[in-house]
Amino acid sequence: MQRLTGIGVSPGLVSGRAVMLNQRAQVLRYRVAESRVGSELDRLEQGRARTRDQLREIRASIARRRGPDLAAIFDAQILMLDDPMLVPRAAKLVCDQRVNAEWAVQQVFEEFSAIFDEIVDPYLRERKGDVADLVGRLKMNIRQGLSTPRDLLREVDEASILIADELTPSLAAQVDWTKVRGFATDAGSRTYHTAILARSLEVPAIVGLHDASRIVQPGQLVVIDGTNSELIVDPSPDVLARVARAADEAAAPVAVEHDRARPAMTADGVRIRLDANIEFPDDLAAARYAGAEGIGLYRSEFIFSDGPDAVDEEAQYRTYRRMLEGMAPGPVTVRTFDVDEDQLAMNDTGATLGGGWGADQERGSRQGLRGLRLSLSRPELFQTQLRALLRAASHGTLRIMFPFVSGVEQIREAKQLVASAAADLVRRGLSVPPIPIGVMIEIPAAAYTADLLAREVDFFTIGTNDLIQYCLAVDRADERVSLLYQPLHPSILRVILMVGRAARRARIPVSLCGEMAADPALLTLLVGLGLTEFSMTPGAIPVAKHVLADVRASDLKALARRVLRMATIEDIEHELLNALGRFAL
């Protein structure tokens, strides 16, 4: 028996088999029963077969469009896919360690990485990127249909304990707490926002353990004692007997499941609208199940992940129509392509933008010719997307949103292209209904001219992930400054307040999407700042409803007034957490 001491942030005593989550590597690690080893090997082989088929299709497409020399790039990846050091090595790990296939592939990649890092020749060392591209595609194909942590945790046995290097509130909100009894993380402190979530759900939790994700093995029996701040590995019979006497194990899941069906509302009756952010049409089922009223953000650039042929007008039309019909009568807000030049070139060569977790972070530091700027510079590509969207509009309630806008001129030019696309369709004999046009407020230039932009559009969406980054000049991918990425910085709260006021003065709706919306503690403060419409990952919606039902909007407004007078992040966070404690969170 081994005891690891951390910081207990949510009381309670629970036991279960460890499930390991490495959020930085975006992979879940869990032990599989001996009877399921065969099915894991089948998933691994099926993933390899899908990957091989995709690479061959990409190679053929590039050969037709760009010639055999460029297509030869993918010959190397196909050869690597059949290398005995990749899939066969991963299969051996599945059998020997009885772990899931995705984790085994990740482990093999880390072994490859160590070898590449020791190579002196810079050309050969850079081939690590080719391996990373292949491994990313292979993992995506292994977990086909399992794109979110909640999806992945469906494969986990009941009565599990989640052990993670870190656990953001937006990720924690997606976990199926009917299976996961508690969690422990290497990172975190008493002011960790995930702690607010844990206490709200009555899920025992310990943070600040430093190296628990390295010490604990998947499938190992562990006990979380949130009251005494201990993670107990391989507990004794006496400890397990004490756990068996605990009476609070099943309280949280019932509350969260009940929250799915009811509308979001504060304790004093203020109605809050909660929509879902999604990347693929297949995510619609999760959004509806979670109780989303609509799709607040569909990231249309993920169409590129299906390859170059997926962006022609007919293919896009089918995708958008499926989205609108699937969410009807709720509205669907489609963000036009938010890619930059490099990513567009990747699509031209058949590479994908990637899938799964962390997509926004991967794009987070990209500036320059991106989003609407790039669309305006590629009018044929933009017009194709607009025609597909306008054709699909008759099948549901569509809203079109432009990303990375910095000025009125861009909006006016984009609206002219929308009118031109509509005229093209009318000439084909098609009718085009009126479509609300909006912009994502995600860079300071847009935020500080929100009053001017509001005269040109029908709605705003505040994109906090990029807005925080650009306001604070922090690249989230740069570990040297990533700690400076602070949603509670006074400037961020004031910018959000300013944009909300500009929208209300212009009498247009304003919503907020991004990780701030999925963080229950920050969500309550945003309501206090006057926002009532949010869009978040589907799994976070029931938790958001649960948290909002316990607070009064009048109290949150008073909290926001106090916070806006504070000068430091530490003071703001302290006041927020104290207030939430008083509000019965």
Q: Is 210 a catalytic residue?
A: no
HSE (CB half, 13 Å, CA atoms) of 79? 6
Q: How many angstroms separate the CA atoms of 495 and 468, rounded?
A: 10
And the tokens for 41? 């090997």
Q: How many angstroms separate the CA atoms of 206 and 4, rounded?
A: 10
Give the three-state DSSP class for 530.
coil
CA 364 to chain centre: 13
Residues in contact with 570: Cβ distance below 8 Å, sequence separation at least 6, in sequence order: none
- From the candidates 471, 489, 513, 546, give the one annotated as an active-site residue: 513
Q: How many CB atoms lie within 10 A of CB 40?
A: 24
Residues pairing with 460 in the sheet? 439, 510
Whether the link from the prior residue into 169 is cis, omega within 30° of 0, is no
CA distances 172 to 368, 541, 543, 551, Å, are 33, 12, 10, 21
Q: How many angstroms separate the CA atoms of 244 and 1, rounded?
A: 18
Residues in contact with 171: Cβ distance below 8 Å, sequence separation at least 6, in sequence order: 23, 149, 357
Q: Is 258 a catalytic residue?
A: no
And the tokens for 39? 């099915």
For 400, the enclosing helix (H) or strand (E) is strand 397-402
And the tokens for 157? 């046995």
DSSP per residue, 21-43: EETTTTEEEEB--GGGHHHHHHH
Among candidate residues 504, 498, 487, 544, the one with its CA nearest the CA of residue 520: 544
Residues in contact with 70: Cβ distance below 8 Å, sequence separation at least 6, in sequence order: 62, 63, 349
And the tokens for 25? 């590597």
Give the three-state DSSP class for 464.
helix
Instruction: Kindly tell me the sign of the dihedral angle through the C-alpha atoms of 471, 475, 481, 487.
Output: positive
Torsion of CA 115, 117, 119, 120, to 10 degrees: -170
- From the candidates 95, 193, 471, 489, give the one annotated as an active-site residue: 193
CA distances 327 to 305, 337, 538, Å, are 22, 21, 13
Give the three-state DSSP class for 238.
helix
| Residue 201, burial from CB neighbour count under 10 angstroms (0-12, 13-18, 19+) | buried
CA distances 328 to 277, 288, 393, 458, 532, Å, are 16, 10, 11, 20, 22
Give the three-state DSSP class for 203.
coil
Q: How many angstroms separate the CA atoms of 112 and 36, rounded?
A: 27
Whether the link from the prior residue into 490 is cis, omega within 30° of 0, is no
| Residue 99 per-residue DSSP state | B
Q: How many angstroms separate the CA atoms of 457 and 414, rounded?
A: 11
| CB distance 10 to 77 below 8 Å | no
**Active-site residue numbers?**
193, 513
